[in-house]
Chain A
Amino acid sequence: MDRSDKTIFARPEALTDTITHYCPGCTHGIIHRLVAEALDSLGVREKALGVAPVGCSVLAYNYFNCDFLEAPHGRAPALATGFKRLRPDMIVFTYQGDGDLASIGMSEIIHSANRGEKFTTIFVNNAVYGMTGGQMAPTTLAGQITTTCPMGRNVEQTGQPIRMVELLSSLVTPAYLERVAVHTPRHILQAKRAITKAFKYQSEGRCFTLIEVLSTCPTNWGKTPEESVKWLEESLMSYYPLGCKKDPEKPELNDGTV
């Protein structure tokens, strides 16, 4: 029997050793690890190119062991489009928050998805603008209190929260779109599978891939990490159902034809 010591869980090679700036309990760190593990498992770290947004993950380039671009707010999909079109052989991914992708960058993400750009987008949805201190985002829930809707989001005045995966799934262009969460081990495992699958599809040049990841924001939700997990489970997930909304291998899902 082999009694040698074996490491069965360690920091992926695609993650640097830098201590992140994310708040304690913020699940950005888990999502970073899952992306890094995907890059490692597919062996593509050395030909990967990440595009960081503006927001909490603006400093993502310090945490990944691959080349990175830092995009203007909301424009990461455009940078990724420009890069991927010239280097289709490289694995390109954008890592964006809900303010970056669903607000200022809405046009860029919709048109990148509609053109079927062959890059992967990791879309982190924590229902607030984190970096700037917890303002209302397009994904903020009705009645949710933030620093710019202190009486709770009034949907009569600001409209309803936007479900990005469903919105993008209405496009006819093929894509792989799934919403996952990372607040419990079981969900983390599902998220890992989805993220790895997205990068696999990209390495096969299949289609545009986007994974929406529900994520916690203890600091700006005004909750402890544990309370944040509970709120995500009860409130966020009830409005943003998990699951795959579009997959080239599952045509029975919504393929955009009405």
Chain B
Amino acid sequence: MTPELAGVLQLLALVGALALVHRPAGTYMARVYSSTKHLRVERWIHRGIGADPDSGQTWSAYLRGVLAFSAVGVLLLYLLQRLQGVLPGSYGFGPVGPAQAFNTAVSFVTNTNWQSYYGEQTMGHVVQTAGLAVQNFVSAAVGMAVAVALVRGFARSRTGELGNFWCDLVRGTVRILLPAATVAALVLVARGVVQNFSGIHEVGQFTGGARQWTGGAVASQEAIKELGTNGGGYFNANSAHPYENPTPFTNLFEIFLILVIPFSLTRTFGLMVGSVRQGHAVLAAMFTIWLGFVSLMMWTEFAHHGPAPQAAGAALEGKEIRFGIAGSSLFAVSTTLTSTGAVDSAHSSLTGPGGGIAMLGMMLGEIAPGGVGSGLYGMLVMAVVAVFVAGLMVGRTPEYLGKKIGPREMKLAACHLLVTPALVLVLTALSLALPTPPDSTLNPGPHGFSEVLYAFTSAANNNGSAFAGLNADTDWYNTTTALAMLLGRFLPMVFVLALAGSLARRQSVPVTAGTLHTGKPLFSGLLVGAVLILTGLTYFPALALGPLAEGLA
């Protein structure tokens, strides 16, 4: 079997599994977020945090919940790291430095999982499991809650209420993420991922000498790392590490975990707005972009020529031989088109165009299919913009899912669109223009430029993957990437929830023959076009000076 054929078969298996699972998963999630009953354990939690899960919240109350919960999360995670020296099970690791601790706290709470540290050399058991792993669950649940609030904004009419944040947060964690992650972790353990609380081992190497390896609760963290599109590895090598991702099967399974919730949420959305077709249209747009990116990535990685690839038989620099080009390409695209950021290969070693594809995937706003929740709401905001232009072309005040898109909706959608380009471009320019930050880059020319651009693209879009080659553990990068992660996560949430509030207040317009039908392939195509053109136009000059200059040389 040629590597190309193996790649196609892996792709088919993945698509088949997703097609099979997304229906029941989407339906289940719709039921979770629409149900009026609480589980006993949920009632305990609500009583514990003093929340009334049955009271409806306006968009601003919902937002206050999101922000307060996240702020407390950052604080707790920061304190855990700073106090690591006195915590049990720390392998003797001392407290994490303030800048890095803040960066890491922000990183995990914003579902970014950008890591400027070496996991196995910095974090002990308690920080890993009680801190990082907990945020892996709840930061994903927050994303889903915000997406569900936006969906309710479309579905409801003449009300100010978007549901209850605490209720959505708890349900997302207890009923969706916990059970799914448990099953996934068991599968991973069965296929060889480690799960223990052992300390540091000395392992002899084939080449002689010995290395220290830490064990840990890896499989449980690996499962939620992918499932919640978090991406923060237990080890620095992330999913390239054999303890995290030992076989081609676990590799494919991890890619499946990354994609399953974001793709399934489109069905949840369709069911909740009362039209499965609408969900299909969004799903089709996401899937088209994802498949297009996967094909391009595989093509450019397989087709790469040059002295090194020729000697190795393929462009395998920075890739794990057990995953090969196909498995690495699939992983690279899936991790950058979602807000995951886990890596099973070094993105810095992708071919020029390949690095560009990974970067462009994040620049799209990670909406194909995107992070858990954030992918759906990002794509829906793009749909609002696409509907606005397309709706005009059919001669009506544009409307999406029966909701008219007026000045307020447009203003919020436009602000949402502006956040990440502003963060990425301004911070990249500052890092290059100021005297000290450039010292962090390893390479000159377009590749060095790509490293910086990639870092801020990854941070602002809450991806978390790194291009390597950039020393991000400096005060400048720890602070600016933390800023980018915070603003890149919560500003869009502010606009999304405000948009949801404003949509929920609007009266639904009935569908007629004069209505733009957003549940059809034509609209999916339009949405794909709008996403690609808007992002392409924003980042074309920057991409030209980085990956394009490198790739076309």
Asked if A pairs with B, the answer is: no
Q: Which residues of A contact B (CB under 8 A)?
A: none
